[in-house]
Chain A
Amino acid sequence: KAGVTQTPRYLIKTRGQQVTLSCSPISGHRSVSWYQQTPGQGLQFLFEYFSETQRNKGNFPGRFSGRQFSNSRSEMNVSTLELGDSALYLCASSLDLSMGLNYGYTFGSGTRLTVV
């Protein structure tokens, strides 16, 4: 079966611009989470969506936002980009059985964002 698909794979943006990243989860998975990976901070949780609702949010500024559509596809948006936003952004989907209990997360290939 198809895995988690993230687009685009690579992106170069200028400071101050905004960017939208897309994630299509595994068919049947309703939970989508986003993570930022940088050499300095490692892997950090951004937010999680389930059934079009943001269920959890990490400690990131309001410039980072997201949404989930009725087909479970998710987008994240970063406005007013800063150099420090350069990172690998990973999306993960999971089969969320009930009350947030799931049995593993499958990660997409990621979008590597470079802000110049």
Chain B
Amino acid sequence: ELKVEQNPLFLSMQEGKNYTIYCNYSTTSDRLYWYRQDPGKSLESLFVLLSNGAVKQEGRLMASLDTKARLSTLHITAAVHDLSATYFCAVDAGGADGLTFGKGTHLIIQP
């Protein structure tokens, strides 16, 4: 059974700081997705990572994938309040289980 672990699960940080969210998974996969969810809202796609070594950046967010280490990171640079949300990573192992999600990282960015 594929397991996806995110850490930390809760993160409170100040504006202007940098931080990294980690996503570890337990089986071979080269397809990993990052989503953002605001309270009461749906999932917004942030990044689609489809190969080992993939790195994508959008604004203050950068995501990377290391399939050998079974690890993806979401790095936040110079955080701003608008980035406060819950961030999920999800792994597609190509089997019968669809996407397997981590528990999410609840991020609060304080002025």
Enumerate chain A interface residues (CB-CB to B < 8 A): 33, 35, 42-48, 56-58, 90, 92, 100-101, 103-110
Contacts and interface: CB of A to CB of B under 8 A. Distances in A.
28 contacts: A33-B98, A33-B99, A43-B88, A43-B90, A43-B99, A43-B101, A44-B101, A45-B98, A45-B99, A45-B100, A46-B98, A47-B98, A56-B96, A56-B98, A58-B98, A90-B43, A92-B99, A101-B94, A103-B48, A104-B33, A104-B48, A105-B33, A106-B45, A107-B42, A107-B44, A107-B45, A109-B42, A110-B42
Contact of A105 (B94, B99, B102): B99
Contacts, number: 51
**Number of chain B interface residues as a range:** 20 to 34
Nearest to A41: B103
Interface of B: 33, 35, 41-45, 48, 50, 88, 90, 94-104
Contacts of A46: 98
Contact of A90 (B42, B95, B97, B104): B42
Given A33-B98, A56-B97, A107-B45, 14 more contacts: A42-B102, A42-B103, A45-B98, A45-B99, A92-B99, A100-B94, A104-B33, A105-B33, A105-B45, A106-B45, A107-B42, A107-B44, A108-B42, A109-B41
A108 to B, nearest CB: 6
B91 to A, nearest CB: 11
A99 B106 CA distance: 34
Nearest to B102: A42
A68 to B, nearest CB: 15
A103 B50 contact: yes
